[in-house]
Structure 1
Amino acid sequence: MSSPCAPVRRVGLFGGTHGNELSGVLLVRHWQEDGAEIQRPGVEVKPFLTNPRAVERCTRYIDCDLNRVFDPESLGRPVVEDIPYEVRRAQEINQIFGPKGSDDAYDLIFDLHNTTSNMGGTIILENSRDDFTIQMVHYIKNALAPEPCPVLLIEHPSLKYATTRSVAKHPIGKYQT
């Protein structure tokens, strides 16, 4: 029997991590205008446009990939004028939704992406040892049935992930073709 998970109190819904992936952008903008369908009693759900400058230009990123700069070095860099845009944005996101690795971090972040690969709706996980995340994936797969929803596990025991969603206690990525 699995141990009970702590209740989820704060959820981030991210779109636009890559500015040319518009499904998440459109959903976030929709939820920012009318969040009734995502609100639940006792849970703060925050839709958030992660890389607005890249979205404005409809390009993957401005200076560097936002989904690769949530590492300790980037998050700890001094804020100076010539800091890459995405590094500064990562620091801002970490302040709002983190700090990464702390008890104050958001409980859950869904980072919504697109791909041109023919993989359909796919869930990306970075940790198979997180009971909450495994239960959440099971719930999502059942909710989407009979539509297929593969799960891609990109886990490595010595790798520290530097993705936007890694700020949360329980990170989940969702890709849609």
Structure 2
Amino acid sequence: MKASPCGIPGPLILEPTVFGDERGFFMETWNAQTFAEAGLNLQWAQDNHSHSQKGVLRGLHFQNPGPQGKLVRVSRGAVFDVVVDVRRSSKHFGEWAGVELSSSNKRMLWVPEGFAHGFLTLSDDTDFLYKCTAPYAPEAEHTIAWDDPDLAIDWPDVGCDPILSEKDRAGLPLAQSAVFE
């Protein structure tokens, strides 16, 4: 597995070794030893799977207290995946990085605790899978506005306005969010 930084310290783009032939392919999406060798000694509390049509934007979410680290990937379709540093003590506070994850590039993204996370689906019938280091706690979840001008995230144009949940429409600017100290 190859681990590469993605623009801000902490999150990592993970590219698994893929074995393919005329039958298809095989890859490990989680191996405790391989991840530990990359500096990621993780224990999982929860696995999640979301399915979305093109243009769905989910996020930017984080939990405080009870932060979650997330290992995210796409098994069908494609997304533009975004992480935002929400640790006020970090010199990279408020900085974001984005990466395309797809079933064809087979990349995964490690989202450490202390980062908000969101994604925009780039194709219909997108399946997004992620492991979490802590259980979901709705009372601790916070949503940052996907279009916060202070973040100025360069979301790709998918040919329509983003399709948002009520929770995501009600997201707050980063300056008003319950970030980590």
Q: What TM-score, normalized by structure 2, do the two folds share?
A: 0.22
**Which of the two has greater helix per residue?**
1
**Which of the two has greater strand per residue?**
2
Q: What TM-score, normalized by structure 1, do the two folds share?
A: 0.22
